[in-house]
Amino acid sequence: MSGNSRYSDHCRSQEDVMASYTVNPDAPAYARRLIDSRQYVLTSRWGDVQPGAEQENDYLDRHSWEEYACWHLGLTEGAADGTKARYAFVFGDFRRIHRMGIIACHYRAAEWRHKDIELAAHELLQYLDAATS
């Protein structure tokens, strides 16, 4: 199969097409403040409470992009600030941090080998668990 084959795009490795992320430096501190002020949910069905597009839009109607960013552990490399594409790995419902949201971030980051995000989520989970034990 030559590099010009119509199949070449389908044969690339996952790493070739996977987005890259950096840890949002503001998110862990914001999450710790939420935990310290007891703004957390320990047991939830993350799939039911994770913000969708409508909730994101409602939040952005009332808050700044900087506030929106604080709810996301990851920043998508190459995406412009002030766009939803820039922010990844949401850990709360825009009111409270969810333990299952942190676990989902950790799992997804580990699955796709985003080590810095994985470690940031792990540290938050440890912090939350220590605060609530």
Domain boundaries, given as residue ranges, for the chain: 19-132
Distance CA 101, CA 44 (A): 9
Distance CA 36, CA 32 (A): 6
pLDDT single digits (tens) 73-131: 999 999 999 999 999 999 999 999 999 999 999 999 999 999 999 999 999 999 999 99
Q: Are 74 and 117 in contact (CB under 8 A)?
A: yes
pTM as predicted: 0.86
